[in-house]
Structure 1
Amino acid sequence: MLLLILLGTTASWLYLRYTKPVYKSASLLKIDESNQGSALGLASQMAPASADKARSGKLAGEVELIKSGIIYRRLKDSLALDVNYYAQGTVLETELYGVSPFKVHYAISDPSLYNRKFNLKFTGPQRFSLEFMGQGRQLGGEYNLGQDIALPGIKMQITGTPQLTEASLDTDYHFTIQDEGTVNAFLDRNLAVEIVNPEANTIQISFTDFNSIKAQGIVNKIDTVYLQEKLARKKESTELQLRFLDDQLSSNQRNLQNAEDQLQQFTETTKTYDVKSDLAAIGQKLEKLQEERPKLEQKMALLSEISRLADQDRITNSENETVEQSLPGLAGIEDPQLGQALTELNDQQWQLRRVLRSSTDKTEAVQQRQANLTYTRNNIKRLLVQDQKLLRRQLSLFDQQQGQLNGLLQSLPAKATELARLQRPLDLYSKSFLMLFDKKIEFNIMKAGNTADFQILSPASPPAEPIFPNKLIVYASGLAGGLLLGLGLIAVRYFMHNTITNVRELERNAKAAVLGIIPTYDKEKMEVSRLVVDKNPKSAISESIRSIRTNLDFISSAKKKRLISVTSTISGEGKTFVTVNLGGIIALSGQKVIILDLDMRKPKVNLAFGAENTRGVSTILIDRHSIQECIQPTTIESLQFISAGPTPPNPSELILNDRFDLMIQQLFLTYDVILIDTPPVGLVTDGILIMRKADIPLYIVRAGYSRKAFVNNMNRLMRSNNLTRMCTILNDAQSGAGYGYGYGYGYGYGYGAYGQGYYEETEAKKLTFGEKLKKFFT
């Protein structure tokens, strides 16, 4: 896992080392109409119901404008984006945006030279070499700065810049000339315009590039050209609207003049300008005539009454009544002469009445007064005739005026209709003229006060850190990847692990008691199993087998005759090694031990002792040799063995023969312990037959070799054959896999050796990191 984590971290470092960093620069704009016309309240106001929709549409339109070809063309005219300059580094190339030591002026006639790499290297302060592929061959040469270069398909001139220093001459450079489509694709790919907050009308313009200064410069230049474009569009729009207003004003003024002339002509002809006023005036006149006529008629009646009275000899009906008393309306007579004459008549009547009280009609005084009265009455008649003529003339004039007014009144509807017809276009053209004139004033004010309809809230700044790759995320990913790979490897090994590796697994899976553990023996290389306990009595192998011998003594008394069988599931698990060395340890304790090799198909006990296998158990069971003839000695005096002998065709039948039991009985007469090396029970049934006869059947399991299914096979054998005293031994266990108790060597409760291969002593040996790593992956 440590190696995989280290590999993941190293991969992250390499990725960061060989990946170009990507920088992002951004500016924040607020779209907001700002002009003096709005400030003066002359600009048109938007309906509240459509404000939100209009705002959203406007923002979307501004986004499309910024990403349109209009801005791109202005941007390319302002920034030299068609030529990119690079300096070649050890691993990656660096773009020299704005800091290139040279500048390229070109004219390309061959479009295939666009997007082509031109290599440049300075050979001196004012000379350089140029190489590129063009028209299927290598082109270029050595030139001076400022020299006109004419090559197939291209003409160029390369000049120096203030950045051309002595140190910059040693660097390898190259540049590319990009066509318009490539530049547009570059801008489309890296430019992002987003609506940040629709309520606040804010838009963010961002650009990503490998060069942070270039990203900042492009964003700031986009802000500038966007400002210029907005002002140009507003100016053009205002001028177009003003031109339209001027045209409309001229046309409207002509129409207004015609309407005014027609109305003036009508007014002059009809003497009518306001029908309503004329109607009111005629009505007032008629009303006044109606009011004056009764008065005249009343005067006329009064005069008629006076004239009637004047024709009579007596003015009054009674002698006691005067003219004033007979005609009480005399006070209303407006003619002063008539009034004076009536007054005189009244006085004369009073005088005559007073004289008649004292005189008769024959007296001079009465007659004189009667004559005066007659004269006055005649005078009154004359005045009455004159006043009546005047009143009749006034009444006639009233009737004439009333007729004229009624005639005028009847002609007013036609005049009103014609006047309304002439007044409508005049009012319409007047209003239109005033409205257009106001709009012209408004747009002139707006034109004078026009500003860009956006504000740069946050200009672009050079990014300090790249947005990609993120070092923290890359290293975290590498670390997590290594950790996950390590965990995955552990999981794979766990799920693919099907062998017994330590005593805990054996104890957890086996129903048989674990008698002991035999550690790996790697002190010397052995081709076959050998007796090693007599040569290394204090080794870990010897001590572990002694513990097994002790455990056997607990299972059965040391003085009792014991038949011990040793078997395994398959060949190679170390049963022969365990049998030989367990027999040696028991023999060293003072007991007489004999080892029988009943693995007649693949005998190995004789090889362990370096003896021949010309006769043995197979020849004893067929009565070819006696037991004594087949017993062979070992280096330990109390330990002998009988080899398997020649391989018979029917080993199982020989074991089932009564002669096998007789042989065991005869051996018990001489030996205390009989150890039988049986065939693997997973391959043949011979071992099962012997295990049934054995006092203690031992089942060998090899660590890292025996599968877990073998332990299940052992459990099944115990269950099916009622082998209640079966024990198991873990062989070839690695250091640290058992229970250590220490004997000066640091070995454990038991580790095992195996039948063939390496048997080495483990004396508190600790594996190095490399050995542990090798062991982990193997």
Structure 2
Amino acid sequence: MTSKAGMARNENAELENLIRNSLGNQPAINTPEPESETEGSGLDVATLVMVVRKSLPWMLLFILVGLLASWTYLRYTQPLYKSSSILKIDEKQEAGTLGLAGNLAGPESPLTLNNLSGEVELIKSNLIYRQLRDSLELDVNYYAQGTVLESELYKTAPFHVEYSIKDPTLYGVRFNVQFLSKDKFVLSYSSGQNEVSEEHGVNSPITNPGISLQISLTPQFSADVIGKDYHFVIKDNGAINQYIDQNLTVEVINPDASTIGISFTDHNPVKAQDIVNRIDTVYLVEKLAKNSQSQQQTLQYLDEQLDVTRDSLQRAELALQRFVKANKTYDVKADVGALTGKLAEQEKERIELQKRLDLLNGVARLVQRDRITRDDNATVEQSIPGLVMLEDAVLTQQISELNLAQQDLRRVMRSSTEATEAVQQRKEAVEYAKHNVQDALQQSMRVVREQLATLNQQRGQYSAQLQVLPQRETELARLRRPFELFEKSYLMLMDKKVEFSIAKAGTTPDFQILSPASSPGAPISPVRMIVYAIGLASGIVLGLGLVAVRYFMHNTVTSSRELENNCMAPVLGVIPTYDKEKLSVSKLIVDKNPKSAISESIRSIRTNLEFMASSKKKRLISITSTVSGEGKTFVAVNLGGIIALSEQRVVILDLDMRKPKVNLAFGAENIKGVSTILIERHSWEECIQHTSIPTLDFISAGPTPPNPSELILSPKFDELLANLHQQYDVIMIDTPPVGLVTDGILIMRKADLPIYIVRADYSKKAFLKNINKLIRTNGFTRLATILNDARGAGMYGYGYGYGYGYGQGYGQGYYEEVQPKLSLWRRLRQRFA
């Protein structure tokens, strides 16, 4: 034992010299730099990793639960299928048909968004729904009961139901059907508060209060149907409309292209496709009917307008006809021209007649002359040069005869006297001719005068007619305006009717089905990958949430790394959890299990203590903690035992006089001790108690005094320490917790090596701030810490993890001596770097 301890001390001395030389003969531990109170408040990666490792089973459990929940959801959720189609609307502007649109638009123009919205509302209107109900059998839904879910038998039901419902409350009621054979079945349903269950025959009328039924078989009926559970539900029009409205989606896809998308969702893919196809068909029929109705209305309007215009035209024709008949003219302006021409011609004729009358008067005067001399050679024709203008052959002939008679008289008178017979005969002939001429002149003059009178009378008539013609012209124009208007309207309406009839013969649908109803393949809901992804993500989120909660709620020290990162004092070592037995009180165990991991860890602490106070042969070590329960008594007793096993005399003082535990660790009494020594009731020799280790003694706390702090401050305490230094190499003091009382601080000031105990998973992180505060305030530059009761990850970096010990290829000497030195060397090198 002695040789082993001597070898250890020699190795320790050599390693210490190596450390001092590498550090330039600096002290082993420098005064730490002041640290802010908020140091270590950032993200602690090591703690986070530790929390993740501890939470990993829970995270895996959450992920499994999430995936199981996804599987359960998929198992008990009916899949939803979607069928869709795309329509292109080519709306026509029917106003141009009648020529009323002007130059506003052509026969076809792109629809606006408002017009497309109107088409959407038409598709979702009750008009389309009603035709859907009439064309598809949506009023009776057939279902087959499976092991988990029920499935709708659309067009595949083994039976068909014909019904007549008088009681509206039976709509939506579940009618259960179970076939006993091909000819018989059991029908059961709830009617109010009563349960009806009856056996009936196939194709037999069933008459119950409020409903009449008849069930017949379909080609899908087979022997497998017998004994299985089926049911059907009868829906009213309101329920069908609600069903269609909830599952039908109609939206404008591209307003510029005038395209509309129609989609329908249902648990049965065939039913969804049939409904979309039927909507397209019904919409086509409705649009054709709408266009046909519009055309019929247009033709009806044209016919009505033609009838009205025809009647008005006939009335205008009759009025114009009566006017023409009454006024014997159809063109008053032409009549005015004709009358004006007639008046001009009449005036010209009257002037000619007047000239003729004047000429006749001149001739009459000339003829009435009685004396004709022998020398008078002038004739009537010569006397009146314009006599030829009379244009009267008889009168001209008579005047010629008169001229001849006068010439004959003048010839005879040149040779005979007036008394001669020849002259007398010639005179009689002249008188006769003159009488004839005068009669002719009178007759001509009378005719001319009559003609002049007729002309004057006609002139008056024409003048009177001209005076009434303006009024007739106005009346005629008034009658012609409605006639021409109605005639033009009638011809226009006839022309448009012919054009519209030709256009109607080539009427085509004004929309196209760009994409017919698609056949649903995979369900749109639930999507297996998405559901499993959600379950997986939920499990991960819950796991991460657990990690976050545990990380933010993690307020205890769990590892030496946390202790180093948050505390200014160096870490002497880590003591693992003692798992061999449950200790109700602290006990000395290193003598019973010298090769255990806990013994090895305390030996490492003992070696590190050699580095920190190797120049002193006599050492005073105080061991304290923040609160009770952190294991300071356990560490003090076992550390003292390990030091005592290295051939050093050790005495343990229990100064936790308020709650003494050292005597319990050794199984001794506490009748006398430190308190009785300080009050001089007993000497220290009387209070020394021996242990199973020859070089280890202890002095219990003694009876609890009322003033522990004052006793510690008394000179008797220093005298006690001096006496003990003379007899022992190491004085180990178990002090009270500094977080509860100040006694521990008083003792730490006297100690060569104050040690602060931190218990893993028990001491709060806030306690480390208390250690830092003690170092800065009281100048405890040699204060060191020990992590007690560490498990697994809390021991990493110190060679104790996973039961590291003798059976792994390393001897006891290596583990006891070399490994603690290298551990301390690494920490010191990190500290002085």
TM-score (norm 2): 0.75
1:701 and 2:761 aligned: no
Q: Distance in 1 between matches of 2:191 and 2:639?
A: 86
Give the secondary structure class of the aligned counterpart of 1:530: coil
Shift of 1:197: 3.2
1:485 and 2:542 aligned: yes
Return closer, same or farther for 1:423/1:539 CA change in 2, 3 Å cut-off.
same
Give the secondary structure class of the aligned counterpart of 1:668: helix
Aligned-partner residue type, residue 529 of structure 1: S
Aligned-partner residue type, residue 539 of structure 1: S
- Counterpart contact for 1:212–1:463, Cα < 8 Å: yes
Q: Which residue of 2 aligns with 1:65?
A: 122
Greater displacement, 512-521 / 571-580: 512-521
- Counterpart contact for 2:83–2:276, Cα < 8 Å: yes
1:629 and 2:686 aligned: yes
Give the secondary structure class of the aligned counterpart of 2:550: helix
Return closer, same or farther for 1:658/1:396 CA change in 2, 3 Å cut-off.
same
Q: Which residue of 2 aligns with 1:419?
A: 476
Superposed, which structure 2 residues align to 1:89-100 within 5 Å? Answer: 89-100=146-157
Superposed, which structure 2 residues align to 1:757-768 within 5 Å? Answer: none
- Counterpart contact for 2:111–2:255, Cα < 8 Å: no
Return closer, same or farther for 1:223/1:743 CA change in 2, 3 Å cut-off.
closer
Select which of 640, 647, 654 maps to 1:597: 654
1:28 and 2:86 aligned: yes
Q: Distance in 1 between matches of 2:361 and 2:761?
A: 164
Return closer, same or farther for 1:618/1:273 CA change in 2, 3 Å cut-off.
same
Q: Distance in 2 between matches of 1:29 and 1:584?
A: 94
1:15 and 2:70 aligned: no
Return closer, same or farther for 1:631/1:418 CA change in 2, 3 Å cut-off.
same
- Counterpart contact for 2:630–2:762, Cα < 8 Å: yes
Share of identical aligned residues, percent? 59
Q: Distance in 2 between matches of 1:33 and 1:497?
A: 71
Aligned-partner residue type, residue 77 of structure 2: T
Shift of 1:444: 3.9
Q: Which residue of 2 aligns with 1:735?
A: 792
Shift of 1:242: 4.1
- Counterpart contact for 1:56–1:198, Cα < 8 Å: yes
- Counterpart contact for 2:559–2:794, Cα < 8 Å: yes
Shift of 1:741: 5.3
1:166 and 2:166 aligned: no
1:113 and 2:148 aligned: no
Give the secondary structure class of the aligned counterpart of 2:648: coil
Q: Which residue of 1 aligns with 2:711?
A: 654
Q: Distance in 1 between matches of 2:112 and 2:341?
A: 61
Shift of 1:118: 1.6
Give the secondary structure class of the aligned counterpart of 1:628: helix
- Counterpart contact for 1:519–1:747, Cα < 8 Å: no
Select which of 160, 182, 186 maps to 1:125: 182
Superposed, which structure 2 residues align to 1:521-540 within 5 Å? Answer: 521-540=578-597
Q: Distance in 2 between matches of 1:701 and 1:731?
A: 6
Q: Which residue of 2 aligns with 1:556?
A: 613
Q: Cα deviation per residue 1:470-509 (whole Å; 9 max; x = unaligned)? A: 3343333333322322222222222222212222322222
Q: Distance in 1 between matches of 2:645 and 2:451?
A: 181
Superposed, which structure 2 residues align to 1:172-571 within 5 Å? Answer: 172-243=229-300, 245-283=302-340, 403-445=460-502, 447-557=504-614, 559-571=616-628
1:3 and 2:61 aligned: yes
Aligned-partner residue type, residue 764 of structure 2: R
Q: Cα deviation per residue 1:95-152 (whole Å; 9 max; x = unaligned)? A: 1111111111222233322211122222233332222222422212233322222334
Shift of 1:614: 2.7
Return closer, same or farther for 1:232/1:688 CA change in 2, 3 Å cut-off.
same
Q: Which residue of 1 aligns with 2:196?
A: 139
Q: Distance in 2 between matches of 1:703 and 1:493?
A: 16
Return closer, same or farther for 1:611/1:289 CA change in 2, 3 Å cut-off.
farther
- Counterpart contact for 1:32–1:201, Cα < 8 Å: yes
Give the secondary structure class of the aligned counterpart of 1:521: coil
Shift of 1:297: 9.3
Q: Cα deviation per residue 1:656-699 (whole Å; 9 max; x = unaligned)? A: 22211111101100111111011111122221221111111111
Shift of 1:405: 4.2
- Counterpart contact for 2:110–2:256, Cα < 8 Å: no
Aligned residues: 721
Aligned-partner residue type, residue 61 of structure 2: L
1:581 and 2:638 aligned: yes
Give the secondary structure class of the aligned counterpart of 2:178: strand
Shift of 1:451: 4.1
Shift of 1:701: 0.9
Return closer, same or farther for 1:728/1:488 CA change in 2, 3 Å cut-off.
same
Aligned-partner residue type, residue 621 of structure 2: I
Shift of 1:248: 4.5
Greater displacement, 88-97 / 428-437: 428-437
Q: Distance in 2 between matches of 1:517 and 1:305?
A: 178
Aligned-partner residue type, residue 711 of structure 1: L
Q: Which runs of 5+ in 1 are unaligned?
A: 313-325, 345-361, 364-373, 749-778
Select which of 729, 740, 744 maps to 1:672: 729
Greater displacement, 407-416 / 58-67: 58-67
Return closer, same or farther for 1:729/1:296 CA change in 2, 3 Å cut-off.
farther
Return closer, same or farther for 1:727/1:302 CA change in 2, 3 Å cut-off.
farther
Return closer, same or farther for 1:56/1:491 CA change in 2, 3 Å cut-off.
closer
Q: Distance in 1 between matches of 2:631 and 2:614?
A: 26
Return closer, same or farther for 1:394/1:465 CA change in 2, 3 Å cut-off.
farther
Select which of 722, 733, 736 maps to 2:779: 722
Q: Cα deviation per residue 1:226-261 (whole Å; 9 max; x = unaligned)? A: 333344444445445545544554444344333322
Return closer, same or farther for 1:28/1:334 CA change in 2, 3 Å cut-off.
farther
Greater displacement, 276-285 / 554-563: 276-285
- Counterpart contact for 1:43–1:442, Cα < 8 Å: no
Select which of 103, 109, 114 maps to 2:160: 103
Return closer, same or farther for 1:729/1:289 CA change in 2, 3 Å cut-off.
farther
Q: Which residue of 2 aligns with 1:767?
A: none
Return closer, same or farther for 1:518/1:399 CA change in 2, 3 Å cut-off.
farther
Give the secondary structure class of the aligned counterpart of 1:582: helix
Q: Distance in 2 between matches of 1:305 and 1:512?
A: 175
Q: Distance in 1 between matches of 2:349 and 2:637?
A: 168
Give the secondary structure class of the aligned counterpart of 1:525: coil
Select which of 666, 670, 681 maps to 2:738: 681
Shift of 1:589: 2.5
Aligned-partner residue type, residue 335 of structure 2: D
Q: Distance in 2 between matches of 1:709 and 1:627?
A: 39
- Counterpart contact for 2:793–2:801, Cα < 8 Å: no
Give the secondary structure class of the aligned counterpart of 1:467: coil
1:645 and 2:645 aligned: no
- Counterpart contact for 2:91–2:109, Cα < 8 Å: no
Shift of 1:174: 1.4
- Counterpart contact for 2:90–2:110, Cα < 8 Å: no
Q: Cα deviation per residue 1:324-363 (whole Å; 9 max; x = unaligned)? A: xx99x99x9797999x99xx9xxxxxxxxxxxxxxxxx99
Return closer, same or farther for 1:603/1:273 CA change in 2, 3 Å cut-off.
same
- Counterpart contact for 2:91–2:111, Cα < 8 Å: no
Q: Distance in 2 between matches of 1:607 and 1:462?
A: 85
Q: Which residue of 2 aligns with 1:775?
A: none
Q: Distance in 1 between matches of 2:703 and 2:632?
A: 20
Q: Distance in 2 between matches of 1:307 and 1:547?
A: 189
Q: Which residue of 2 aligns with 1:151?
A: 208
Greater displacement, 302-311 / 737-746: 302-311
- Counterpart contact for 1:530–1:580, Cα < 8 Å: yes
Return closer, same or farther for 1:593/1:49 CA change in 2, 3 Å cut-off.
farther
Q: Which residue of 1 aligns with 2:141?
A: 84
